[in-house]
Amino acid sequence: MLKEILVLLTALAFGFVSAIAGIGGGSLLVPTLIVFYGVDVKTAIPIGVAVAVATSLAATRVYLEKGVVNVKLGLLLEIPSTAGAVLGSIIYQVIEVKILKLIMGFVFPVIAIYMLLSSRLKHRSREEDSIARKLELSGEYYDENLEREVKYKVSHSPLLIAGSFLAGTLSALLGIGGGVIKMPLMCIVGGIPIKAATATSSFMVGITAATSALVYFKEGFMEPSLTSIVIIGFILGATMGAKTQVKVKSLWIRLIFAGILLYASIRLILSSIGV
């Protein structure tokens, strides 16, 4: 019972803080559950994808209302992303736990670095490519801060498609949303403004995560009690965080989150080699 309460409080805190700082705390949950709460790797991953579905849907609802999501681009990229998630869920079912821990140990530091640098992320306007032109993927949205319409063009579609496949595979394999790949890829390579990239990535994350989540649910990998505690905690925390007007130093939160991820990564690597 104590463990469940602590997991609930952790999920609540991660949801709250990630909403204030604007970072995806969901990817922190999986390593935290494994390293700090001793949850089995193959139990933690399905919890991670279920949380990714819940948080993505909650955010997508708001983004859709504001018209920031580039639905056409999202649908185009969702096909490779979903296919990647299929591959990831197949690998998950056959891969050894120690190899999975090793992969996590090397991928999570990359996420930690992304968390530290994401506030400096800037999109670069690029020339529209032929696929984007033919499919009319360019978009526009109303920016409330700038108080004007922002129009943008989509570039390097093949690279975005390949990146989405990788993001889908990692999402299913590691229990993360995959936004850590999609977001910077859309901004830097695709020339999409941060707000539109965040919204479109969020829209895609839920669909990709659902691909593997349904398989994990069907196969009985999803532990209902712990999954529901984490979902409730995270959603409540994120809702409270979004409504709170508390101003916090985002850099400190990013540093703490990155520190937890790095520590968990080292523990995962050491555990995978039997130290």
Residues near another protein (CB under 8 A) are 50, 53-54, 56-58, 60-62, 64-65, 71-72, 75-76, 78-79, 82-83, 85-86, 89-90, 93, 135, 206-207, 209-211, 213-215, 217-219, 222, 224-225, 227-229, 231-232, 235
CB of 204 to another protein, least distance (A): 10
The strand ranges marked E within the chain are 139-143, 148-152
Residue among 208 and 272 whose Cβ is closer to another protein: 208
Q: Measured from the CB atom, is 216 or 257 closer to another protein?
A: 216
Q: What's the Rg (C-alpha) of the chain?
A: 18
> Closer CB to another protein, residue 73 or residue 112?
73
Q: What is the dihedral of CA 38, 41, 45, 51, to 10 degrees?
A: 0
Residues 6+ apart with CB under 8 A from 265: 31, 104, 105, 106, 108, 109, 112
- Beta carbons of 61 and 203 less than 8 angstroms apart: no
Minimum Å gap between C-beta 186 and another protein is 17
Smaller CB separation from another protein, 196 or 222: 222
Distance CA 58, CA 44 (A): 21
Determine contact, residues 108/32, Cβ cutoff 8 Å: no
Q: How far is the CB of 230 from another protein (least distance, A)?
A: 10
In the complex, minimum distance from the CB of residue 134 to another protein, in angstroms, rounded to a whole number: 10
